[in-house]
Amino acid sequence: MSGPVAVLESAGSSGALLVLSIVVPVAAALVAFVAGGRRTAWIALAALPVGLAVAVAIAAKVPQTGGALVYLLGGWAPPLGVALRADGLSAVMLVVTACVVAAIGVYARADFRVAAGAAEERAPFTFWILLLGVWGGLNTVFLAGDLFTLYVALEILTFAAVPLVCLDGRAETLQAALRYLLFALLGSVLYLAGTTLLYGAYGTLDVVLLSRLVTAEPAVLVAGSLMTVGLLAKTALVPLHLWLPPAHAGAPPAGSALLSALVVKGSFFIVVRLWFDVMPGLQSVAATQMLSALGATAILLGSVVALRQERLKLLIAYSTLAQIGYLFLMFALAYDAGAASMLKGDALAGGMLQAMSHAAAKAAMFMAAGSIYTALGHDRIAALAGAGRRVPGAVAAFALGGLALVGLPPSGAYLAKELLLRSAADTGQWWWAVVIQAGGAFTCAYLLLVLARVLGPVNRTATADETTDETATKRGRVGWSQQAAALALAACSLALGLVDWSAWLPVPPGTRLSSSLVDTIAAAVWPVLAGGVLAVLLGRWTPPPRGRLQQAAAALGPLRRAGVALGAGFCRADAFLRQWPVAGLSLLALAIVFGAALSARY
């Protein structure tokens, strides 16, 4: 997208917007830190609309520049200076991030409020500053124009994200946070080692300059594989996912939403920058197929283990694992073997659209799960019946967010799926089309499993132990603003497919939902049916004590037993992969295999 001329020159005064989008959250975090007490929340909430306005302004300006909006810090041009650049991808990610952060801010207002009379409490104070920190880190990731700034931004993001996991200070969340931090640090050191190699080879780390210089020499291939694997560790792509489920499931709802929707997208975005912008011509069939194969593994493992979960938040965390895999499918589809280069086309647009839809939908689902937890005092899936009456808005947000993830028209995920399928057909890679469709069906399976519980009849035996004093005292009231924030985000994700993205993403103008009504209905119906079958075969449910359903369940006997055994096998595989030494060795092995795959050029 970025033209060769404009990318190294400042775009005049509008470039200052880029600085503003980083300064607003960072300045707000500093001021909020100094002000303290009740004022922390107000300063954070005041910064949200300002930051959103700046992001929208950048997104409006980028198409007019015809390439990228550039700001040179101190007027020094690369390679000596540092540039901030916003291309179409940065612009859409900035806006989505600002929207999701704003919704999370509205949602968190009730959870992280300083009680009247109290001077200051640790958790609220920390939460608001970390929220701004994550936001500032992400904006820097999206705008940074050189690999070292990306490293610093990534670290800011990690340091702000890790304490979000353990805001409540329970031992298991502290453990999850520590594991997250230590593994993320391993990833970032690998990334840093890669930048050193690149600097040693070319004397610059600027993305645009590097993209003109890099050739397939050993140092670059080693750097590429080290950086990719380091970033995968931070994105938690299977098999490097040991930290994600406990961290995302243990954090408070607003924290989970932030971590799952946005934080993993930061390192994902850098992988995209690296593969599409820095070294598009150095990739190989083997490397792209391998990266997407890891994504397919993540979809399968994450979905099956999600179907076996007892707790709603863990189910959503494993769903994130599967959706992260979905994001990596685009790499194989974007590789053009003829040109021996990564092409910015349908596949990239589909992948980015999927990332945006997932950000909005997953934040909505985690916020809805938090409301359900507050309303019922627990989040055991088996005893969720009745949640629909207590928090209808949250249940609706969960359902809408889930449907948006499945890819029902007109959601962003539907358009993303169309784009990915189209590029799979164009490049003749039918196997990725199968994976894409299967991913939608699996997503639908765990959504149906939860919705069947929520909307089903109240199960007396399951609720008997639920009405103990312990859970009853944990119950609380859920304000309308929390449910409205979750609903709004879910609706956003569902409406993303209606936008014409050609101004920002590399798709032909007019690409939006265009299929006929029959196709649309077919696209909506078949993942639901397939998901239903998967949920019945693999899901965690007990047959009802009597009635016709029991006979149906009995008829399913052997198949169901096979499904349960398969699920148990996947859970064991997941537990095995999430041991520290196994994950560490996977990290090393992946780095070596990627290096070999990159050098195996066709």
Q: Are 366 and 358 in contact (CB under 8 A)?
A: no
Toward another protein, which CB reaches closer, 388 or 584?
A: 584
**CA 330 to CA 336: how far, in whole Å?**
12
Binding mask 529-568 for another protein (x = CB under 8 A): -----------xxxx----------------xx--x--xx
The nearer residue to another protein, 169 or 428, going by C-beta atoms, is 169
Compare residues 183 and 269 and give the one whose CB is closer to another protein.
Answer: 183
Question: What is the spatial distance between Cα 438 and Cα 296, in angstroms, rounded to a whole number?
Answer: 10
In the stretch 421-440, what mask flags binding to another protein with x, by CB under 8 A?
Answer: --------------------
Rounded CA-CA distance 108/439 in Å is 31
Specify the stretch interacting with another protein by CB under 8 A; choose among 50-58, 353-361, 418-426, 576-584. Answer: 576-584
User: In one letter, which amino acid is 181?
Assistant: L
Shortest reach from residue 182's CB to another protein, in Å = 5
Query: What is the pattern of x (binds another protein, CB under 8 A) and - over residues 238-277?
Result: -------xx--x----------------------------
Q: Which of 150, 574, 595, 597 binds another protein (CB under 8 A)?
A: 574
The strand pair at 341-342 and 335-336 is best described as antiparallel
User: Which C-beta is closer to another protein: that of 414 or that of 570?
Assistant: 570
Pairing of strands 83-86, 69-72: antiparallel
- Cis peptide bond prior to 410, omega within 30° of 0: yes
Residue 63 binds to another protein (criterion: CB under 8 A): no
Q: Is the dihedral of CA 139, 141, 145, 149 positive or negative?
A: positive
The verdict on 76 binding another protein (CB under 8 A) reads no
Convert residues 282-311 into a mask of x (bound to another protein by CB under 8 A) and - (unbound). Answer: -----------------------x--x-xx
Q: How far is the CB of 287 from another protein (least distance, A)?
A: 22
φ, ψ of residue 121 in degrees (nearest 5):
-120, 150
Write the DSSP assignment of 101-132 as a string of letters: HHHHHHHHHHHT-PPTT----HHHHHHHHHHH
| Token digits of residue 566 | 């398969």
CB closer to another protein out of 253 and 407? 253
CB of 532 to another protein, least distance (A): 17
**In 3-state terms, what secondary structure has residue 478?**
coil
Give DSSP secondary structure letters for 68-99.
Answer: -EEEEGGGPPTTTS-EEEE-HHHHHHHHHHHH
- State the minimum distance, in angstroms, from the CB of residue 351 to another protein: 28
Cα torsion through 315, 319, 322, 323, rounded to 10? -170
Shortest spacing between CB 187 and another protein, in angstroms = 11
Closer by beta carbon to another protein, 407 or else 567: 567
Least spacing, CB of residue 174 vs another protein, in Å: 4
**Binding span for another protein by CB under 8 A among 90-98, 137-145, 176-184, 384-392:** 176-184
Q: For residue 60, give the H/E element and its range.
A: helix 39-65
Interface with another protein includes 196 (CB under 8 A)? yes
Q: Closer to another protein at the Cβ: 551 or 579? A: 579
* Closest to another protein by CB, 180 or 331: 180
Q: Count Cβ atoms within 10 A of the Cβ of residue 382 and give its class: 0-12 exposed, 13-18 middle, 19 or more buried.
A: middle
The count of chain residues that interact with another protein, using the rule CB under 8 A, is 59
Site for another protein in 142-171 (CB under 8 A): 148, 151-152, 155, 159, 162-163, 166, 169-171
Name which of 170 and 474 has its Cβ closer to another protein.
170
Give Cα separations from 117 to 33, 38, 40, 44 (angstroms): 20, 10, 15, 21
Contact 30, 88 (CB under 8 A): no
Closer Cβ to another protein, 195 or 297, answer by number: 195
Residues between 198 and 227 with contacts to another protein, criterion CB under 8 A: 199-200, 203
In the complex, what is the shortest distance from the CB of residue 157 to another protein, in angstroms, rounded to a whole number? 12
CA distances, 48 to each of 20, 59, 442, 493 (Å): 13, 17, 35, 19
Residue 77 CB, shortest distance to another protein, in Å, is 14
CB of 581 to another protein, least distance (A): 6
CA distance 549 to 531: 19
Kindly list the distances between the CA atom of residue 420 and the CA atoms of 416, 423, 495, 598, in Å, as whole numbers in the listed order: 6, 5, 18, 23
Cβ nearer to another protein, comparing 338 with 581: 581
| One character per residue 487-526, x = contact with another protein (rule: CB under 8 A) | ----------------------------------------
Q: Which is nearer to another protein, 166 or 400 (CB)?
A: 166
Q: Is 322 in the site for another protein (CB under 8 A)?
A: no
Work out whether the CA dihedral 412, 103, 55, 258 comes out positive or negative.
Answer: negative
The span from the CA of 19 to the CA of 16, in Å, is: 5
Tell me the window of 129-137, 173-181, 464-472, 515-523 that interacts with another protein (CB under 8 A). 173-181
Separation between Cα atoms, residue 141 and residue 90, nearest integer Å? 9
Between CA 150 and CA 310 the distance in angstroms is 38
Sequence-separated (6 or more) residues with CB below 8 Å from residue 182: none
CB closer to another protein, 159 vs 526? 159
Tell me which residues touch another protein (CB under 8 A). 148, 151-152, 155, 159, 162-163, 166, 169-172, 174-175, 177-179, 181-182, 185-186, 189, 192-193, 195-196, 199-200, 203, 245-246, 249, 305, 308, 310-311, 314, 540-543, 560-561, 564, 567-569, 571-572, 574-575, 578-581, 584-585, 587-588
